[in-house]
Amino acid sequence: MKDLMGMMGKVKEMQAKMEKVQADIAALSIEGKAGGGMVTVVLDGKGNMTGIKIDPSMFREDDVEILEDLIVAAHKDAKDKGEAQAAEKMASITAGLPLPPGMKFPF
């Protein structure tokens, strides 16, 4: 019975740590760039776009397709960086858990 109580205590500790890490991740502000900084996208920790900066030189009629591609690329850059930061923060919590490779936590 002692083992069960100890395990329950560890579960509560892990749950508290998980909530803190999730709050930290949600508060992140991740910047992604494309085109050598011509387009910058800012995402929050949940992947929602919170800002975009476009160099004024991109506002030419013949550059519309390039601009669209750069926005998509900057968004992907920011998203990839955010996922990497979130995975890094979660790794500190899940370090001792025997999770299968590639499994994301929380589920």
For the segment 6-25, what is each residue's pLDDT rounded down to a tens digit?
A: 777 777 888 888 888 888 88
Kindly report, residue by residue over 61-82, the tens digit of the pLDDT. 888 889 999 999 999 999 999 9
Distances (CA, A) of 65 to 4, 34, 60: 60, 14, 10
pLDDT score at 107: 42
Higher-confidence position of 61 and 98? 61
Higher-confidence position of 106 and 4? 4
Kindly report, residue by residue over 23-34, the tens digit of the pLDDT. 888 888 999 999
pLDDT band at 39 (very low <50, low <70, confident <90, very high): very high
Query: Which residues touch 37 (CB under 8 Å, ≥6 apart)?
Result: 55
Higher-confidence position of 88 and 92? 88
Token look-up 């508060």 returns 27
pLDDT band at 60 (very low <50, low <70, confident <90, very high): confident
